Structure 1
Amino acid sequence: MTCAELLIHLLRDTYGVRSLFGIPGVHTIELYRGLEGSDVQHITPRHEQGAGFMADGYARASGQPGVCLIITGPGMTNIATAMGQALADSIPMLVISSVNRRDTLGLGQGRLHELPSQQQMISGVARFSHTLLDASTLPEVLARAFAIFTGSRPGPVHIEIPIDLFNAPVSAPASGQAPTLYRAAPDPEGLAEAARLLKAAKQPLVLLGGGCVSAPEAARALVEQLDAPTVTTINAKGLLGRDHPLDLGANAALPAVRELAAKADVILAVGTELGETDYDVVFDDGFHLNGTLIRIDLDPEQLVRNQRTTLGLVGDAGRSLALLLAHFSAPLKRQGAERTAAALSALDLVNDSAFSDFVPLYATLADHLPEAILVGDSTAPVYAGNHLVSQPAPRRYFNASTGYGTLGYGLPAALGAQLARPDLPVVALVGDGGVMFTLSEIATAVEARLPVVIVLWHNAGYEEIRRYMDANGVARLGVDIQAPNFLTLAEGFGCPGMLVESPAELANALANREASGPLLIEIDAAAWQRACAFSD
């Protein structure tokens, strides 16, 4: 077979890939010869950034790597933003691209799609970037990529194949079975010391991050044994189940949780960076851990970032939680539920003026789509939802407001999530500013018949930046942008749409939606806020 055919064969039969995201180009058409007649679904986004975000959403919802086929040059510069978002959140993404012929690389001859060094450019947003120089090494390079996804801290991996290698003859591999890899477990002596510290704690606190999403049972069992209030970050929402009595949610930046954290004598942090967009979203460096800090992470470098670590354990979050749990024979009594309830009562989120407009939004979504995956952009409803939303399971709430924080993520990532989980409803939460980055992906949703509900919060511009400008005495420039008629655009793509101005109208729209394709629900923010104020 050819190198291109071998690539598709390995992805499908060895690594179980069933969906690919890409836009065909003159440099990649040989890859599509390998796809012909296979059972691998190819989704064509309208922009390579959309391809990357779809792969990201697919990976977050399924736990399996999202895979992209990308053209040389501009295709790679277009997808780099999506790779940056995936890198920031440790999302497994495989980006396979073409590159110019081997005998022309680095010569600057003005070839089609030529970059001085595509591999060097993309290395900064990838766990590794590899240029294939010999077709026979393709199985080994792919094995390296999936080893990163399976056994290490995941993230994007880039493999570029020179166009003169696509038709190179290669032998089929002797075995089509991927190796079985087990992630690292922490040192037994370190685990025993961590257990000793936690047993002696009077006011313990647990911090669980996105690295824990594959182990909800172990996470829930351990925090219940410890009877410890637990922060679940944005990427860890749903880890303990909906409204668990020990769950503080993603509220580490708010005063009552900060006070509880500062008073904790022993803190266990698992699979979390302790980064500012989870613990210091008000950006005042006010989140302080004064007690003994135990950290568990697959990446040893993470153990010494952001906070002073007392005891660091290198290991997979899921295995570590289960092994640590074995050190506790009976539940401890630390008034964990009472401490959690007191902190949440002090926060009083549903009556906080910063969030009150969005309480009925999420209540309505929960009433009509209680099992939905909520995928967000950087937009006002998402900033509120990070604090308000509680989900029944992990992998059902993620967005681009943390870490890399790119705009345009919500819509295409929701499409990827819907492809990964056709059994669940998916809601894309977007704003009128951010959605313009990837609005064309509505066409992809229509074409693929993906029944994503697109909830578009229309507040006439970049409201978050307006507030920052006002607070800092900067004149409003570039933020009061003109919006198109979104309903007309949606109709042009073949997507039904409607304008709603109140929670009652949103409820009616959700109750009567057709689940055979996408639906755009545009919320007039000003009218919605008036309706909510009137109902109060």
Structure 2
Amino acid sequence: MPTLGEVLPRLLQDMGIDTVFGIPGVHTVELYRGLPATKLRHITPRHEQGAGFMADGYARVSGRPAACFIISGPGMTNITTAMGQAYADSIPMLVISSVLNRDEIGRGEGRLHELKDQSATAEGVAAWSHTVMSPADLPAVLNRAAATFNSARPRPVHIELPLDVIVAEAGDLQLGPSVPCRPAPDAAAIGRAADMLRGAKRPLMIVGGGASGAPEAIRRLADILGAPVVPTINAKGILPPDHPLLIGSLLPQPPVLDELAAADVVLAIGTELGETDTLLMGGYPQIDGALIRIDIEAEQLTRNAAPTLGIVSDAGAAATALAEALKGPALHDGASRADRLRRAALEDVDPAYAAHGRILTRLAGEFPGLIVAGDSTQPVYGANMTYDAPQPRSYFNSSTGFGTLGYGLPAASGAKLACPDRPVVSLIGDGAFQFTLPELATAVELGLPLPILLWNNQGYGEIKTYMAERQIPQIGVDIYTPDFQAITKGFGANAVKADSLDALIMALKTAFAADGPTVIELDDAKARTW
């Protein structure tokens, strides 16, 4: 009879997962016994945090979850940071870990990898955590995970398997019927929303990452409504850069904030309206008019901004229904309004931030289909406001939500694994690069033609500026800067420096054709003038 550990890979394949990120350990080796009998691809990162970031990047560009095999104890505490980033940004991820034998859990006997309450630790950064106490229970738990990923707000799910359950006889376990459909909007609520929008004189749309899977529906609705559109960072690309209704991710700029306050009806779809979502750090948008919010999670409609009308629904389904209810000639000619707002908002943008947007815009033009996986670093902060991605799921970073460092390299690797035929770059600072530098070895091992744009400002430049502006002594931000060219070559990767935008483009052309990753080092002082 096959064991649970042996059956698990087949069940994962049956639920649509094709990639597993994991580092085998004595508590998880039995999960690997059945891998050769499946088509699952196993990727070995150099740290469990890297495994989680890779799974995050994989899901962001593909819309599909990957799995992580994680040992109990330190493996779980290592991956919780990555789970926290995915949780904050509503990214699906299936984390499967071992845990002590059933009769040892919670006893504090000093067992190997023992954690006081592993499930509770994981649950703080997961949609939910479940301990499988019998092999027969596993299919139902996996079905529940699939329902979370496909029919609810997608977030990490943690399933822990006691050591004695992993090796228990499992028999012929099968997954249940198909997962539930995504929630559709209430017809009466759509009718009421349509009436409110028909009567609007000055409507405005805010679109979030929850709508990234339905760009056509959002574009059709925007065109029918004729209202200017503000995408959040994770919604970039839903409207292409040349769309006449696109303002851009410029909500923190005074002209856009004034317009938001003046709008008589605001339609917000798939967005938390939180501070990292809108870039309004330390506050929330002021909305004086009527607010229609559409979100897949009912509880979210009670947070940050109370709606006049809240609709629980999949973003695409609601946008489609609302466009159908409003169909006809465009209700407003919002193009001139959007253009005026965009121009006014860009007038007082920091010149360095404007440079960051120009650089990525040029790269996107040179390399069609470009995916940018960014970290929490200065050029990312600038591009968050001033770069308009050509398509959805092609620009993302860790400055949103949890705001972790070290994300950019492993997340880009995960994105490249998910989309091998598209150009992918990592955009990361020299400080953040040192958080997950060993994942360069993973990219070398996999032969990923992955350029890493290393923005070198000799330390934690953004925090140093933040401290200086507040007259705080700049302590701990001028860190030792190693020789990244030598380190990169030591890992077996390629390393170059680029001192102009044209040189960067030439370096990228070479890097995309290489048989492994390339670190392209950019000097902050020079690059911000490009």
The correspondence for 2:420, drawn from 419, 422, 435, is: 422
Alignment match, 1:235: 234
| Shift, 1:458, TM fit | 0.0
Against the structure 1 CA distance between its residues 39 and 350, is the aligned structure 2 distance closer, same or farther, given a 3 Å change threshold? farther
Q: What SS is found at the alignment partner of 1:437? A: coil
| Shift, 1:388, TM fit | 1.8
User: What aligned pairs does 1:509-528 form with structure 2 within 5 A after superposition?
Assistant: 509-513=507-511, 514-528=513-527
Q: What SS is found at the alignment partner of 1:327? A: helix
Structure 2: 5+ residue stretches without partners: none
Is structure 2 residue 102 aligned with structure 1 residue 112?
A: no
| Shift, 1:304, TM fit | 1.7
Alignment match, 2:224: 225
Q: What SS is found at the alignment partner of 1:246? A: coil
| Shift, 1:250, TM fit | 1.3
Q: What SS is found at the alignment partner of 1:171? A: coil
Is structure 2 residue 159 aligned with structure 1 residue 159?
A: yes
Against the structure 1 CA distance between its residues 92 and 359, is the aligned structure 2 distance closer, same or farther, given a 3 Å change threshold? closer
Is structure 2 residue 5 aligned with structure 1 residue 7?
A: no
AA of the residue aligned to 2:106: G
Q: What TM-score does the superposition give when structure 2 sets the normalisation length?
A: 0.97
| Shift, 1:203, TM fit | 0.6
| Shift, 1:351, TM fit | 7.1
Distance 1:419 1:265 in 2: 45
Q: Deviations over 1:233-277 (max 9, x none)?
A: 111110012321111121111112111111110011111000011
Alignment match, 2:462: 464
Q: Deviations over 1:291-341 (max 9, x none)?
A: 100011111111121113100111111111111111022132423111100
Against the structure 1 CA distance between its residues 138 and 286, is the aligned structure 2 distance closer, same or farther, given a 3 Å change threshold? closer
**8 Å CA contact retained: 2:10, 2:38:** no
Distance 1:181 1:349 in 2: 48
Against the structure 1 CA distance between its residues 360 and 202, is the aligned structure 2 distance closer, same or farther, given a 3 Å change threshold? closer
Distance 1:177 1:453 in 2: 42
- Segments ≥4 residues shifted beyond 3 Å: 175-178, 280-283, 349-352
Q: What SS is found at the alignment partner of 2:103? A: helix
Structure 1: 5+ residue stretches without partners: none
| Shift, 1:96, TM fit | 0.0
User: What aligned pairs does 1:59-208 form with structure 2 within 5 A after superposition?
Assistant: 59-173=59-173, 178-208=177-207
**8 Å CA contact retained: 1:253, 1:278:** no
Alignment match, 1:248: 247
The correspondence for 2:376, drawn from 375, 378, 384, is: 378
Alignment match, 2:366: 368
Alignment match, 2:499: 501
Distance 1:465 1:472 in 2: 11
Distance 1:511 1:184 in 2: 44
Q: What SS is found at the alignment partner of 2:325? A: coil
Q: What SS is found at the alignment partner of 1:433? A: helix
**8 Å CA contact retained: 2:374, 2:407:** yes
The correspondence for 1:449, drawn from 447, 454, 463, is: 447
| Shift, 1:67, TM fit | 0.9
Question: After the TM superposition, which of the residue ranges 153-162 and 247-256 deviates more from structure 2?
Answer: 247-256
Q: What SS is found at the alignment partner of 1:248? A: coil
Distance 2:196 2:97 in 1: 49
**8 Å CA contact retained: 1:349, 1:355:** no
| Shift, 1:350, TM fit | 9.6
Distance 1:429 1:299 in 2: 32
**8 Å CA contact retained: 1:85, 1:400:** yes
Alignment match, 1:47: 47
Q: What SS is found at the alignment partner of 1:455? A: strand
Distance 1:323 1:261 in 2: 24
| Count of aligned residue pairs for this structure pair | 528
Question: After the TM superposition, which of the residue ranges 386-395 and 452-461 deviates more from structure 2?
Answer: 386-395
Distance 1:493 1:95 in 2: 28
Alignment match, 1:36: 36
Q: Deviations over 1:110-163 (max 9, x none)?
A: 110001111111111111111111111111111111111111111010000011
Distance 1:269 1:508 in 2: 41
| Shift, 1:511, TM fit | 3.0
AA of the residue aligned to 1:504: D
**8 Å CA contact retained: 2:205, 2:228:** yes
Alignment match, 2:299: 301
Q: What's the Cα RMSD here? A: 1.5
The correspondence for 2:429, drawn from 402, 425, 431, is: 431
| Shift, 1:486, TM fit | 0.8
Q: What SS is found at the alignment partner of 2:496? A: strand
**8 Å CA contact retained: 1:235, 1:397:** yes
| Shift, 1:392, TM fit | 2.1
Distance 1:17 1:280 in 2: 33
Question: After the TM superposition, which of the residue ranges 385-394 and 418-427 deviates more from structure 2?
Answer: 385-394
Distance 2:277 2:127 in 1: 23
Q: What SS is found at the alignment partner of 2:326? A: coil
| Shift, 1:357, TM fit | 3.3
AA of the residue aligned to 1:446: V
Alignment match, 2:269: 270
Distance 1:103 1:480 in 2: 50
Distance 1:357 1:421 in 2: 28
Distance 1:350 1:524 in 2: 24
Q: Deviations over 1:485-513 (max 9, x none)?
A: 11111111111010112212212212333
**8 Å CA contact retained: 2:369, 2:422:** yes
The correspondence for 1:319, drawn from 309, 317, 338, is: 317
Q: Deviations over 1:332-372 (max 9, x none)?
A: 24231111000111123697424243244224412432311
AA of the residue aligned to 2:356: F
Q: Deviations over 1:456-485 (max 9, x none)?
A: 000011111111111111101000001111
Against the structure 1 CA distance between its residues 254 and 101, is the aligned structure 2 distance closer, same or farther, given a 3 Å change threshold? same
AA of the residue aligned to 2:204: L
**8 Å CA contact retained: 1:350, 1:388:** no
AA of the residue aligned to 2:143: A
**8 Å CA contact retained: 1:350, 1:356:** no
Alignment match, 1:478: 476
AA of the residue aligned to 2:23: I
Distance 2:334 2:365 in 1: 29
**8 Å CA contact retained: 1:453, 1:518:** yes
User: What aligned pairs does 1:387-402 form with structure 2 within 5 A after superposition?
Assistant: 387-402=385-400
Distance 1:292 1:490 in 2: 54
AA of the residue aligned to 2:70: I
Distance 2:140 2:357 in 1: 51
Distance 2:181 2:40 in 1: 27
Question: After the TM superposition, which of the residue ranges 33-42 and 227-236 deviates more from structure 2?
Answer: 33-42
Alignment match, 1:342: 340
Identical aligned pairs, as a percentage? 51
| Shift, 1:177, TM fit | 6.6
| Shift, 1:286, TM fit | 6.7
Distance 2:176 2:348 in 1: 51
